[in-house]
């Protein structure tokens, strides 16, 4: 059989991405799970068009909630052409009935325990409508098919060493999607770390761990990092802030080539951190924790969420300065999105706060799918965009880069430079996140202010920061 695995994507920025930094692992990993008697292709829609007239027999779609409208459009088109369409991934796992209306078959949860059966059942003409993947031990997983990655991605070695996370943040599906905390044998992970058939030196040098929380189990991470020292790689991952209180681990991270750690800091507000169920994050400790990583030359990337229950437009916009003050090198700024399968979603539903009549594209991390507590959805969107523009303005981006010059080791500094320049360039050319809300009714006022014909009042400023309508609209799937 010929199988096309499509990693579905809808542009999240007005003019798409200027550069494609790092690929998802899901497509090339599913390809590796597929037995070699099948021909398999992986299409990353983010960077290449999907061929509806493909000769594939089976189309496997993987997608996040925000990309569901496009996934369903593709599913309809392929089924019209007689293809067998299979859906899987985080959205399908939590909305299987809806996905079943568009796909011949849906796979819930992790694929390892069922993917072979799905393929065998297709060959025998006995495909079931639904398969439930069970979380399995991670011994002897195949190496992702790096050979199938398009050359366009800057970083290419994406690896997953562990699954799961012991925390239970209210907005996160990981505890339900990947239950428990499971680790892969270090020897298996090292094969991927050492894999070297990439074209450019940086592709051979960098290892990006797509883990939920790589460092949480200390004996495991010590074993893995010790094995990585001789490989002389630069690596990055996501971890929780407790690493900063472990000097021995930080030293090992440095020796093994760590250049960047992503922390989910989320907020500077006590009430908002409670809403996020992140008691492990203490605002008063942010600066010291980040400084501990800087002492080892490690770049700190950090996620911030706008729209938690304690947030106001002012507190959101103020984050641009505060995140600089605590030492963050690269910020990632998103809007709270209560995905199905999260405590946040359950709570919003029982409080009647989920917005209805909007499409899944509102779930792309940059739009508003719920009723915020202290402001309107429009005000939250406007505040987020104001924060985004401010945080990635040349003023703050250059300050972060200059500070990085004095605090970060070479690979970490390059990371800080590249990512700040990437987002700052987006901000400069107005390539901001697409908004699915309203129209730019304040365009005239904006022009008058730009020409100096009108001095904006504080209220005007709120409107002037309001989101501009996306240049590209996407087909809307109903919820």
Helix (H) or strand (E) holding 238: strand 234-238
Give residues 380-409 in contact with ligand B12 (rule: CB under 6 A).
none
Radius of gyration of the chain (CA): 22
CB of 131 vs ligand SF4, minimal distance in Å: 25
Query: How far apart, in whole angstroms, are the C-alpha atoms of residue 23 and residue 293?
Result: 26
Q: Are 299 and 330 in contact (CB under 8 A)?
A: yes
Query: Of the candidates 13, 167, 220, 425, which one interacts with ligand SF4 according to CB under 6 A?
Result: 167
Which among 19-27, 189-197, 268-276, 388-396 is the span making contact with ligand B12, rule CB under 6 A?
19-27
Query: Of the candidates 78, 102, 210, 388, which one interacts with ligand B12 according to CB under 6 A?
Result: 210
Can you read off the two tokens belonging to residue 287? 């600066």
Q: Which is nearer to ligand SF4, 122 or 249 (CB)?
A: 249
Query: How far apart, in whole angstroms, are the C-alpha atoms of residue 124 and residue 371?
Result: 48
Q: Are 77 and 39 in contact (CB under 8 A)?
A: no
Residue keyed to tokens 């969107």: 381
Burial class (CB in 10 A: 0-12, 13-18, 19+), 219: exposed
**Which partner from the list ligand B12, ligand SF4, none does 213 bind, CB cut-off 5 to 8 Å by kind?**
ligand SF4
**Contacts of 464 by beta carbon, 8 Å cutoff, 6+ apart:** 442, 445, 446, 449, 456
Using rule CB under 6 A, residue 107 touches ligand B12: yes
Using rule CB under 6 A, residue 240 touches ligand SF4: yes
Using rule CB under 6 A, residue 264 touches ligand SF4: yes
Q: Which is nearer to ligand B12, 24 or 269 (CB)?
A: 24
Residue keyed to tokens 């061929």: 51
Q: Residue 144: how many CA atoms within 13 Å on its side-chain side?
A: 27
Binding-site size, ligand SF4 (CB under 6 A): 11
Which among 56-64, 242-250, 291-299, 445-453 is the span making contact with ligand B12, rule CB under 6 A?
56-64
Using rule CB under 6 A, residue 183 touches ligand B12: no
Which DSSP symbol is given to 273?
Answer: H
CA distances 13 to 90, 392, 469, Å, are 22, 14, 11
Helix (H) or strand (E) holding 106: strand 105-108
Which among 85-93, 147-155, 275-283, 310-318 is the span making contact with ligand B12, rule CB under 6 A?
85-93
Using rule CB under 6 A, residue 29 touches ligand B12: yes
Give residues 225-244 in contact with ligand B12 (rule: CB under 6 A).
none
Give residues 406-425 in contact with ligand B12 (rule: CB under 6 A).
none
**Which partner from the list ligand B12, ligand SF4, none does 111 bind, CB cut-off 5 to 8 Å by kind?**
ligand B12
Using rule CB under 6 A, residue 26 touches ligand B12: yes
Other Cβ atoms closer than 10 A to 279: 9
**Which partner from the list ligand B12, ligand SF4, none does 167 bind, CB cut-off 5 to 8 Å by kind?**
ligand SF4
Using rule CB under 6 A, residue 6 touches ligand SF4: no
| Strands 2-7 and 58-62, bridge-based pairing | parallel
Task: Return the percent helix, strand and coil in the chain, to nearest 5.
Answer: 40, 15, 45
Query: How far apart, in whole angstroms, are the C-alpha atoms of residue 359 and residue 54?
Result: 28
Give residues 172-231 in contact with ligand SF4 (rule: CB under 6 A).
172, 174-175, 212-213
Q: Which is nearer to ligand B12, 104 or 110 (CB)?
A: 110
Q: Which residues of 446-465 are buried (b: 16+ CB within 10 A; e: fewer)?
A: beebeeeeeeeeeebebbbb
Using rule CB under 6 A, residue 264 touches ligand B12: no
CB of 24 vs ligand B12, minimal distance in Å: 3
Which among 63-71, 105-113, 161-169, 220-228 is the span making contact with ligand SF4, rule CB under 6 A?
161-169
CB of 189 vs ligand B12, minimal distance in Å: 13
Query: Of the candidates 14, 34, 45, 65, which one interacts with ligand B12 according to CB under 6 A?
Result: 65
- What's 440-458 look like in SS3? CCCHHHHHHHHCCCCCCCH
CB of 248 vs ligand B12, minimal distance in Å: 26
Query: Of the candidates 91, 157, 233, 400, which one interacts with ligand B12 according to CB under 6 A?
Result: 91
Query: Of the candidates 165, 253, 380, 383, which one interacts with ligand SF4 according to CB under 6 A?
Result: 165
| Strands 182-183 and 162-163, bridge-based pairing | antiparallel
Q: Which is nearer to ligand B12, 111 or 250 (CB)?
A: 111
Residue keyed to tokens 């044998």: 185
Using rule CB under 6 A, residue 110 touches ligand SF4: no
Binding site for ligand SF4 (CB under 6 A): 165, 167-169, 172, 174-175, 212-213, 240, 264
Binding site for ligand B12 (CB under 6 A): 24-26, 29-30, 60, 62, 64-66, 86-91, 107, 110-112, 115, 160, 172-174, 177-178, 210, 212, 334, 339, 364-365
């Amino acid at each position: 059989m010929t199988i096309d695995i499509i990693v579905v994507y809808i542009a999240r920025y007005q003019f798409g991405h200027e550069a494609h930094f790092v690929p998802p692992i899901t497509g090339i990993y599913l390809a590796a799970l597929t037995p070699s008697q099948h021909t398999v292709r992986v299409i990353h829609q983010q960077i290449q068009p999907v061929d509806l007239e493909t000769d594939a027999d089976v189309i496997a779609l993987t997608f996040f909630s925000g990309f569901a409208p496009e996934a369903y459009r593709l599913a309809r088109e392929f089924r019209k052409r007689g293809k067998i369409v299979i859906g899987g991934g985080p959205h399908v796992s939590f909305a299987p009935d809806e996905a079943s209306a568009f796909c011949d078959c849906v796979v819930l949860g992790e694929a390892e325990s069922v993917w072979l059966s799905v393929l065998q059942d297709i060959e025998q003409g006995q495909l079931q409508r639904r398969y439930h993947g069970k979380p399995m031990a991670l011994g002897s997983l195949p190496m992702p098919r790096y050979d199938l990655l398009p050359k366009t991605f800057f970083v290419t070695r994406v690896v997953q060493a562990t699954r799961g996370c012991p925390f239970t943040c209210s907005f996160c599906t990981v505890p339900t999607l990947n239950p428990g905390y499971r680790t892969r044998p270090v020897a298996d992970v090292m094969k991927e770390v050492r894999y070297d058939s990439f074209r450019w030196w940086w592709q051979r040098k960098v290892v990006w761990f797509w883990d939920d929380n790589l460092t949480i189990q200390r004996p495991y991470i010590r074993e893995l990092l010790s094995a990585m020292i001789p490989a002389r790689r630069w690596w990055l991952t996501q971890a929780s802030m407790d690493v900063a209180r472990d000097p021995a681990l930080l030293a090992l991270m440095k020796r093994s080539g760590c250049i960047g750690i992503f922390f989910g800091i989320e907020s500077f507000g006590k009430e908002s951190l409670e809403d996020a169920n992140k008691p492990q994050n203490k605002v008063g400790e942010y600066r010291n924790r980040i400084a501990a990583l800087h002492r080892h030359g490690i770049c700190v990337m950090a996620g911030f969420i706008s729209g938690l229950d304690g947030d106001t437009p002012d507190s959101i916009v103020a984050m641009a300065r505060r995140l600089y003050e605590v030492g963050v090198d690269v910020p990632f700024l998103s809007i709270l999105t209560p995905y199905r399968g999260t405590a946040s979603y359950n709570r919003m539903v029982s409080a009647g706060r989920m917005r209805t009549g909007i499409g899944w594209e509102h779930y792309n991390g940059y739009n508003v799918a719920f009723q915020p507590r202290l402001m309107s959805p429009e005000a939250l969107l406007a505040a987020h965009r104001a924060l985004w523009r401010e945080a990635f303005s040349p003023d703050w981006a250059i300050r972060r880069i200059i500070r990085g010059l004095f605090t970060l080791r070479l690979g970490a500094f390059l990371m800080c430079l590249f990512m700040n320049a990437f987002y700052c360039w987006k901000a400069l050319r107005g390539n901001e996140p697409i908004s699915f809300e309203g129209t730019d009714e304040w365009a005239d006022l904006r022009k008058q202010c730009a020409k100096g014909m009108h001095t904006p009042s504080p209220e005007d400023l709120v409107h002037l920061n309001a989101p501009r309508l996306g240049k590209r609209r996407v087909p809307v799937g109903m919820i």
